[in-house]
Structure 1
Amino acid sequence: MTRPVGTPTRGTTNPNRLRRMDRWIAAAHGQALRRSDRPVAVDLGYGAAPWTTLELMRQLRTAAPRCEVVGIEIDPGRVAAAKPYECEGLSFRHGGFELPVAGPPTLIRAANVLRQYDEGEVAAVWARLCGRLAPGGLLVEGTCDEVGRRHVWVALGPEGPRTVTFATRLGSLDRPSDLAERLPKALIHRNVPGEAVHAFLRDFDRAWAAAAPYASLGARQRWIKAVRELAADWPLKDDRRRWRQGEVTVDWAALAPRSG
């Protein structure tokens, strides 16, 4: 057997930590999963316990009942601990970025995996994982806090990055730029003047401040108003149905880091 590619994560696996990401995946990618002859989703680097993999399977099966889920971990002890939870359509395997699965997966979720890597390593990992995707497949790579209140993730197809999604529990939000601490590795060091993601969060804070009168109607209405203002200057890729969930998705090209 070849040695798995990658290094172990910290392993934080609080239940429901990835619910916002999973909910978005089911909404955005459910149709592609249903169309697939054999929909397979990979949960890459699920951590010290299998809770988030089990939750991913339950969420995906609301959208695609035939979906199979494979949890992959580079730490063999974590795989052994997860084995008792295997059931029909759910398995756990020892591996890393080489993805020890038969055939190309329709979905790869890599949550809180690349945060420990250097920024310069991200593009190669993305390319490797995207190269394994089935036609029409999706890689979702991003970061969240320990209890799942704040997420930012990048969605990529076989051709590369497509969108960036910001998602939050609105009741805990002071201002949108609070999400900056959860930017994925490809963007977190680019939150500085002169970079697009910094300008986006600056404009989002301004729109949020301007929408303050809507706070009397609740945080959701304030968020929706702010996002509507943001849409005048930024290429948003979703609509009010997603905004109501405390989400906003932006075209990757608008936030991509400057070269150099």
Structure 2
Amino acid sequence: MRAVGVVTRGTTNPNRLRRMDRWIAATHGVELRRAADPLAVDLGYGAAPWTAVELLGRLRRVRPDAEVVGVEIDPERVAAALPYAREGLGFVRGGFEVPLPGGRRPVLIRAANVLRQYAEGDVPAVWARLMARLAPGGLLVEGTCDEIGRRHVWVALGPEGPRTVTFATRLGSLERPSDLAERLPKALIHRNVPGEPVHAFLTAFDRAWAAASPLSALGARQRWIAAVRALRAEGWPVTDGPGRWRQGEVTVAWEALRPGPASSA
């Protein structure tokens, strides 16, 4: 079968996806523990296999027999990763078709920094293809982060479609929440303009952040928590709670940020 997709830049760094991994382990841990086949896919892991190695370690804290398969479209990257393969960790060549031995269906597909170079109009078909590969109760996590993982935004999708959008950051490096706009995933990044829901959300977040500035003396974490509480009070459908907010995260229902009618996403 021909690999579906194009070769990415391949940029990767150790611990780059730590925020996404921790969120997955915390919020998808129940499904992972219940899964008959606790298999996860690191799609488009890049020029080095660090993110796949780290994903396995983090998932095994939740499910000791979890497995990870790194999938890369570039055969040279697969060859370079093979020396790192071990029990529970493998690497194969492939793309959005997610070729797995024996027709296995993963309980998790993580696709980080993969769709940045694609057109916005390509996103729905890619999402649909990946969601179709999930096992029952499975999760697709697709998003973008900076080079060292300080700022990250991702969409979580089940077999039925998009569920939530999560914004995660190192709070000590943040001037205002809208700084995360440059890391919006492809489905949203071109929609950060007046009249679009994601722009309205980030504008409201900046406003709440400014209003919480007196709490800066107590630290950026307390200011972030107060700003998220204000967003929820305004009616934004925040789906998580203070335990995640303290990590510099906030998760919002997809429907509240869904692009306007002009988008095919």
Shared fold (TM-score, shorter chain, > 0.5)? yes
In structure 2, what is the Cα distance between the partners aligned to 1:65 and 1:187?
Answer: 35
In the alignment, which residue of structure 2 is the partner of 1:115?
116
Matched, 1:236 2:235: no
Measured in 2, the distance between the counterparts of 1:238 and 1:127 equals 26
Q: Which amino acid aligns with 2:182?
A: E
Letter in 2 for 1:93: V
Q: What is the identity, as a one-letter code, of the residue corresponding to 2:24?
A: I
Amino acid at match of 1:231: R
Q: Quick one: distance in 2 between partners of 1:188 and 1:4?
A: 26
Q: AA paired with 1:123?
A: P
1:10 is paired with a residue whose SS is coil
Task: Name the counterpart of 2:86.
Answer: 87
Distance 1:66 1:80 in 2: 25
Q: Secondary structure at the match of 2:55?
A: helix
* Distance (Å, rounded) in 2 between the aligned partners of 1:227 and 1:9: 34
Give the structure 1 partner of residue 209 of structure 2: 208
Q: One-letter code of the match for 1:125?
A: V
> Does 2:33 correspond to 1:31?
no
1:235–1:250 contact (8 Å) kept in structure 2: yes
Q: Does the residue aligned with 1:231 lie in a helix, a strand or coil?
A: helix
Code of the aligned partner of 1:255 = L
Separation in 2, partners of 1:207, 1:22:
27
- Match in the other structure for 1:45: 44
Moved over 4 A (4+): none
1:1-260 to 2 correspondences below 5 Å: 2-101=1-100, 102-232=103-233, 233-260=235-262
The one-letter amino acid of 2:130's match is L
Give the letter aligned to residue 165 of structure 2. V
Preserved CA contact (<8 Å) 1:115 1:185: yes
- Alpha-carbon shift at residue 259 of structure 1 (Å): 1.1
1:104, distance to aligned residue in structure 2 (A): 1.1
**In the aligned structure 2, how far is the partner of 1:65 from the partner of 1:7?**
33
For residue 129 of structure 1, report the CA deviation from its aligned partner: 0.4
CA contact (8 A) 1:38 1:66 kept: no
Q: Distance in 2 between matches of 1:97 and 1:38?
A: 20
- Superimposed CA distance per residue, residues 212-253 of structure 1 (whole angstroms, 9 cap, x where no aligned partner): 000000000000000000111200000000000000000000
Aligned length: 259
Q: Aligned partners of 1:137 and 1:169: how far apart in 2?
A: 28
Name the aligned partner's letter for residue 129 of structure 1.
L
How big is each residue's C-alpha offset from its partner over 1:115-161, in whole Å with a ceiling of 9 and x where there is no partner? 10000000000000001111100000000000000000000000000
What SS class does the counterpart of residue 54 from structure 1 fall into? helix
In 2: Cα distance, 1:23 partner to 1:246 partner: 12
Determine the C-alpha separation between the residues in 1 that align with 2:114 and 2:3. Answer: 14
The structural deviation recorded for 1:64 is: 1.1
Q: Distance in 2 between matches of 1:72 and 1:131?
A: 16
Q: Which runs of 5+ in 1 are unaligned?
A: none
Mapped to 2, the partners of 1:60 and 1:117 lie a distance apart of 29
Measured in 2, the distance between the counterparts of 1:92 and 1:44 equals 10
SS in 2 for 1:63: coil
Which amino acid is 1:36 matched to?
A: A
